[in-house]
Chains A and B, each alone.
Chain A
């Protein structure tokens, strides 16, 4: 458990945030200049606080220099020591769990290379390994994918997922890319102009209509936990089970029994007051309307309850009026199969 309260004046920005992050991966999300990196720097002790606290499992760290904090920091630009080999870089802070970390991050055949001869993705993996070998109590990742192209991102992403699932250290992950956040995070901390907007479980925040302006209409939407039941080779579709019912996703995704997190953008959810039949959209779930929020630009954001999981739909104001939608009303949410992505 990380518990921070940071008060700091940094040039034009006044940082004033406080949040708690449980185990797992907590994403710090916000626009550029919101103070995301400043939060990490303060937690690591690279800048000093005017007031506040940094507590890790109840232990106060804010008076300690960075050397004494046991907090791993993976910088956006990797910051590998250019005069050392990968192996020497990895060993700089310690050699805790060395072999497993090298295996997990796929660093085995890079050990004798110099940082100058690594790709961006390889350098980031080495930087992550170097931070982990110090056996940190907390891992800070500052936009580790931001400087990589799409192919390199796709290469590093599975390592980050594996890190989240296998490493026992809590992770704070700074990003301004919601696709990344939705895929990786369990907890979300929204910041803007050096202030906290809201913090909480990712699924809850992404499906909160009031936060759509912060997140952006294109990224708002629920993240639905589902379990893979089977793969249909004839139609090349994967069947998954959500609490509210069965969904079908094109392509072969995951392995049977695996739990996936499906991101369902609010714009891709259609509402219907009759159970749909003979519709090209394959997925429909019986849901209950929780709230309706008018966006004042022609849309209504509808918060839905899908057997305990939150869903979010963005429909036009006219549709909402014509359908006469009201809270607690039962309705069907239609999700176009191709709209579902992990």
Chain B
């Protein structure tokens, strides 16, 4: 079952899926927490946090990629520390691609989850508090179930964004086949070579199928959540 994809294209597809999945799963809990803080708390520097979260959405992706290279690269502040302390390298690795995808998808996830949280009546959380529930229990038993559709929407949006991320990824981790070459960078690479239109079309179709599949899955899940 190759679906008209050669081995290199398959590698890119599987890598893209892994990168997008890891990026989404790692970023989602943090996105829920940040969305909760932004929606429910008042604190000094809230606008700064809000701005930082949204920065990847408005910054040219290449700039984000460059900043990632500066901070997380081998000589970067955090990258150097990670390499020396834990022997972890992010630049030019698939984990770096996942980090870039997560950061680019983060604002979309936060926005979707925040909308969900703002739609929940804070009075319900108050009622839970008067019934003796701790903050953690209120979040787990009242807030989280009620924002499940928002969380799902955020996850799908984030996954789709992570799947399609190109600019920051190629700047931070380049496009090494089998290592960091995701679907978009594979398509871009193929377009630079004459006579590869067939391979390009195959990858484009895979992209469309994945995106549609994610949307349909999220619709189905959201309907199940609402039906509960």
Instruction: Report the separation of the CA atoms of residues A188 and B142 in the bound assembly, to the nearest whole angstrom.
Output: 36
Known: A46-B129, A67-B129, A92-B128. A79 touches B123 (CB 8 A): yes
Contact with B along A106-136 (1 / 0, CB 8 A): 0000000000000000000000001100100
Known A67-B129, A69-B130; 19 more pairs at CB < 8 Å: A46-B129, A66-B130, A67-B132, A70-B132, A73-B127, A77-B123, A79-B121, A79-B127, A81-B127, A81-B128, A82-B146, A83-B228, A92-B128, A92-B131, A93-B130, A93-B133, A94-B131, A94-B132, A131-B131
Shortest distance between the CB of B17 and any CB in chain A (Å): 32
Name the contact of A93 in the complex, choosing from B132, B145, B146 (C-beta under 8 A). Answer: B132
Shortest distance between the CB of B190 and any CB in chain A (Å): 48
Contact with A along B106-122 (1 / 0, CB 8 A): 00000000000000010
Interface of A, helix, strand, loop or mixed by DSSP: loop
Instruction: Report the separation of the CA atoms of residues A69 and B129 in the bound assembly, to the nearest whole angstrom.
Output: 10
Residues of chain B within 8 A (CB-CB) of A65 are 129
Known: A75-B123, A79-B121, A81-B142. A46 touches B128 (CB 8 A): no
Residues of chain A within 8 A (CB-CB) of B141 are 92
Contact with A along B66-106 (1 / 0, CB 8 A): 00000000000000000000000000000000000000000
Residues of chain B within 8 A (CB-CB) of A79 are 121, 123-124, 126-127
Whether a CB of chain A sits under 8 angstroms from the CB of B134 is yes
Known: A83-B145, A83-B146, A83-B228. A66 touches B123 (CB 8 A): no
Whether a CB of chain B sits under 8 angstroms from the CB of A71 is yes
Shortest distance between the CB of B150 and any CB in chain A (Å): 14
Shortest distance between the CB of A11 and any CB in chain B (Å): 15
Size category of the binding interface on chain A: 20 to 34
Which residues of A in the span 28-72 have a Cβ within 8 Å of any Cβ on B? Answer: 44, 46, 65-72
Shortest distance between the CB of A54 and any CB in chain B (Å): 14
Shortest distance between the CB of B143 and any CB in chain A (Å): 11
On A, residues with C-beta under 8 Å from B are 44, 46, 65-73, 75, 77, 79, 81-83, 92-94, 130-131, 134
Instruction: Report the separation of the CA atoms of residues A69 and B130 in the bound assembly, to the nearest whole angstrom.
Output: 8
Instruction: Report the separation of the CA atoms of residues A65 and B133 in the bound assembly, to the nearest whole angstrom.
Output: 11
Name the contact of B124 in the complex, choosing from A72, A81, A134 (C-beta under 8 A). Answer: A81
CB pair A93–B131 under 8 Å, yes or no, is yes
Interface centre among A67, A75, A131 (most CB of B within 10 A): A67
Instruction: Report the separation of the CA atoms of residues A65 and B134 in the bound assembly, to the nearest whole angstrom.
Output: 10
Known: A82-B146, A83-B145, A83-B228. A134 touches B132 (CB 8 A): yes
Residues of chain A within 8 A (CB-CB) of B124 are 79, 81-82
Name the contact of B130 in the complex, choosing from A73, A81, A82, A94 (C-beta under 8 A). Answer: A73
CB pair A92–B133 under 8 Å, yes or no, is yes
9 tightest Cβ-Cβ pairs between the two chains A and B: A93-B131, A79-B127, A73-B130, A66-B129, A83-B145, A79-B123, A66-B130, A92-B131, A93-B132
Interface centre among B121, B130, B131, B145 (most CB of A within 10 A): B130
Residues of chain A within 8 A (CB-CB) of B134 are 67
7 contacts between A and B (CB under 8 A): A66-B130, A70-B132, A75-B123, A75-B127, A79-B127, A81-B124, A82-B146
